[in-house]
Amino acid sequence: MVRELEPEQTRRAQAFRLWMKAPMPMLTFFKTLDVTRLVRLARHGFKFNALMCWCIGKAAGGIEEFYMLPVGDKLLGYDELAVSTVVALDDGDISTCDIHFSDDVVAFHRDYMELTEEVRRSGQPNDLSNELMVIGTSALTGCELDGAVNIYAGIYNNPFLIWGKYRRGFCKVRLPISFQFHHSQMDGAQAAAFLENLQKVINSLSIRP
């Protein structure tokens, strides 16, 4: 469910006034995650990117600001989240696939695999943005990235994470990521809390067969 919020009745009131008409209201944070646990789970039939997307949804779920989004000149409120991924199509083009977040990691993984395959076959995006607050992701796994700053067109204000190839060390596997967000939606404190939550979720993820 999507509804229009009165910004002055939320704790984003001041930020909404300050940043909605700023020429560049997006901020980008960089962080290197320890993804050793996800790489190990990926050896047992789970897709690494799907697990990353689930961890992102789980980490965002406890932060109030992720359920609000500036769209146009409005602040919209949402009840549920989705995580989006970019899908490579057979013709070399790309599309996007939004996956409704579920606390059940196995169910989310199943939906991820089925929906991304459907998008790959059809070439049509799976778009849930009219119903759910979508967190965007893009995995450029063909190269190592230290970080990326996404474009800002004033249309897509959703939070967005980008990462490349993970890096194997002696004992750990590390993954640099970038996290872009609209300053009207959240401040640095909430963004930093999300990234800390993300590492904690990764560290604690356990999947029963």
Mean pLDDT for 119-130 is: 96
Segments of 127-186 assigned E as strands: 133-139, 160-163, 167-168, 173-182
Position 1 pLDDT exceeds 90: no
**For the whole model, what pTM was predicted?**
0.96
Find tokens 């970038």 and name the residue.
178
Position 209 pLDDT exceeds 80: no
What percent of the chain is modeled with pLDDT above 90? 88
Of the candidates 81, 91, 184, which has an alpha carbon nearest to the alpha carbon of residue 133? Answer: 81
102-119 pLDDT per residue, tens = 999 999 999 999 999 999
CA distance 186 to 150: 17
Predicted local distance difference test score (pLDDT) of residue 151: 86
CA distance 147 to 133: 24
Element (H, E) at 191: helix 188-204
Q: Which CATH architecture has domain 27-204?
A: 2-Layer Sandwich (3.30)
Band of the pLDDT at 170, cuts 50, 70, 90?
confident
CA distance 200 to 101: 18
140-163 pLDDT per residue, tens = 999 999 989 988 888 899 999 999
Question: DSSP secondary structure string, 17-75?
Answer: HHHTT-SS-EEEEEEEEE-HHHHHHHTTT--HHHHHHHHHHHHHTT-GGGGEEEETTEE
Strands 160-163 and 94-100: unpaired
